[in-house]
Amino acid sequence: MTDLNSSSSRRRFLALGGATAAGSLAGCFGLFSDDNNQIGVSLSDFRGSGPLVESRDQPGGTSIQDLPALEGELTVYLGGGEGGLYVDLLDLLEQAYEGFTVNHRVEGSSSLATTIIEESEAGASQADVFMSVDAGSLGAVANAGATQSLPSEALDAVPGSFQDGDGRWVGFAGRARAIPYNTDRLSPSDLPDSVHDFPDTAALEGTMGWAPTYGAFQSFITAMRLNRSDDVARSWLNSMQNHGITEYDNEFAVSNSAANGELAAGFANHYYSLRVQSARQNAPLDLHFTEGDAGALVNVSGLEILNGTNNAELAGNFVRHVLSSEAQEFFATRTFAYPMISGVQPVGGLPRIDDLNPPDIDLTELADVEGTVDLMQDVGVL
C-alpha cells in the first residue's frame, strides 16, 4: 500500500463542521420493485443522515436485488457495544423479506467468543452466525475449531488482508486506529507520523489519554507486538506512562475528552471522533493517522458461520447480504466504518482505506490477547 500526498486532506477531513447536509439523500431507489412477495426497502433506509453523510454517489458492488432472498430463521450472536446499530441492519433485512427472522443476542465481543467456545465444546451451539467488532475474537472462535467455511462469493468481495487466511471469517466493516486531537491545543505538525515517536514529543507530554482495558486498545498493542516485538511494545507502554497519560474506561470517552479540551490528544478507533463530531458539529476535533505501524492498524468487524448450525445455506446467504452495496452503505454512513467492498466510499473526508498505511499483519493473530494482557500487566498499565 502506498501513502499518497493526501496528508492535509486527511488531517482536515473532520473540519466540515457546519456543513448543512441532510437533504442530500439523492439516489433513493426502491429495491425489489420487480419482485412480488417482498416488502420494499430502499437504499435511503440503509443510509444514515446528518452532516457527515454528504451527497453520496450510488454505491457499487452487488445489490441486495441481485442476491437470493433470505428465508427462514437465523440466530446471530452480536458482539460489541455498537450492537444497537447492527441490530438496525438486522431489522432492515427482516423488513426486506417477509419470511426472514433474526434472533439476536448482544454482548461484549470477547464474552460472546468465550460463550461460543464453551457451547461448541459442550456440543450445544445455539447460534448460526457470530458477528463481532473485533478480528481477535473471531480468530479465537476460529482457532477453537468452532467455525464452518464461508461461501466463496462472500470471500471474493473483500480484500485478502481483511479476511482470515483460511477463509474462516470475513470482515464487513473496517475500524482504523487513529489519534483524535484537539485542534485548539495542537496543530497537525505537532503530531508525529510514527506511533513510536509519541513518547518523545514534548507537545504531548502529560496531556494524552487512552483506554487500556478496552478491547480495541489491546488489539492495537497486540498489533505492535506482531509488527515489531514484545520488547518494543513493552518499552513503548513504559515510555508513554513516563510521558504522562490519563486512563479512561472507553474510547468514546477518550475522543470526547479530546473534543472538549480535557485532553490534547488520545488513542482511539476513528469512528468515535466522527460520532462526537456528528453530535457536536463545531467541536475542535480532528483525526491523525500514523504510517505503517500499529498506530494505523485497521481492525475489522467481521462474521463467521458457526459449526453447530443446521442453517448453513441461509447463514451463507446472510453473509453475502451483509457485504451487499446497501449494507456496506449502512456501515459507512451509520457507524462511520470503512466499507469492505471497493464500490462503497467512507463518509465525509475520511481517507480511503487504500490511502491508509496499516501494518502488515495477519488479523487472525490478534486473537493473542492473552500475551498482550500479560505484558500490559507486567508494565503496570493494567
Partner 1 sequence: MGASDRLERIREGANVADRDADEPTVLALVVLAISLLLLSPIAWVLIEASEMPTGRLVELVVSGTTTTVTVNTFVLVSAVTAASILIGVPLALLTVQTDLPFKRFWTVTAALPLVVPSYIGAFAFVSAFGPRGELADLLAPLGIESIPTIYGLHGTVLVLTLFTYPYVFLTTRASLISFDGRAVEAARTLNASRFQAFKRVTLPQILPGIAAGALLVALYTLSDFGTPAIMRYDVFTRMIFVEEQARNLDAAAVLSLLLLVLAMAILAVESRIGASRDGAYVASGDHRAGEIQLGYWKLPAMGFCALIAALCLALPIGILGLWLVRSAGAAPAGFVFEAQHVTNSVMLAAGAAALCVVVALPIAYLSARGDGTLSSLPERVSYVGYAVPGVVIGLSLIYLALRFVPFLYQSLFVLVFAYVVRFLPQAVGTTESSILQVDPSYIEAARSLGYGPITSFRKVVLPLVAPGIAAGAALVFLTTMKELPATLMLRPIGFETIVTYIWLVRGAAYQGQAAVPALILVGVSGLSMLVILRQEG
Q: What residues make contact with partner 1 under the rule CB under 8 A? A: 75, 80-88, 90-91, 103-108, 110-111, 113-115, 117-119, 122, 124, 126, 140, 213, 215, 218, 247-250, 252, 257, 260-262, 272, 275, 279, 334, 369-370, 372-373, 377, 380, 382
Nearer to partner 1 (CB atom), residue 90 or residue 157? 90
Q: How far is the CB of 152 from partner 1 (least distance, A)?
A: 30
Comparing CB distances to partner 1, the nearer of 140 and 287 is 140
- Residue 212 Cβ vs partner 1, minimum distance, rounded to whole Å: 9
Residue 225 carries which DSSP code? H
Nearer to partner 1, 21 or 155 (CB): 21
What whole-number distance in Å separates Cα of residue 82 and Cα of residue 88? 10
Minimum CB distance to partner 1 smaller for 64 or for 254? 254
Residue nearer to partner 1 on the CB measure, 81 or 343? 81
CB of 61 to partner 1, least distance (A): 23
CA 133 to CA 24: how far, in whole Å? 30
User: Minimum distance from CB of 323 to partner 1 (Å)?
Assistant: 20
CA–CA dist 71, 44 (Å, integer): 23
Rounded least distance, CB 140 to partner 1, Å = 6
Q: Which is nearer to partner 1, 62 or 335 (CB)?
A: 335
Q: Coil, strand or helix: which one is 252?
A: helix
Q: Are the C-beta atoms of residues 340 and 158 closer than 8 Å to each other?
A: yes
Three-state secondary structure call for residue 3: coil
Q: Can you read off the three cell numbers belonging to residue 75?
A: 440466530
Helix (H, G, I), strand (E, B) or coil at 103: strand
Please choose, from the candidates 80, 93, 53, 125, the residue with its C-alpha nearest in 3D space to the C-alpha of residue 216.
80
Nearer to partner 1, 278 or 357 (CB): 278
Least separation in angstroms between CB 159 and partner 1: 27
Query: Which segments of the chain are extended strands (E)?
Result: 72-79, 100-107, 129-132, 147-148, 170-182, 208-210, 245-247, 265-266, 268-269, 285-288, 298-306, 338-339
- What is the rounded CA–CA span in Å between residue 14 and residue 277? 8
Query: Least Å distance between CB 118 and partner 1?
Result: 6
Return d(Cα 304, Cα 319) in angstroms, integer.
8
CA distance linking residue 33 with residue 45, whole number of Å: 15
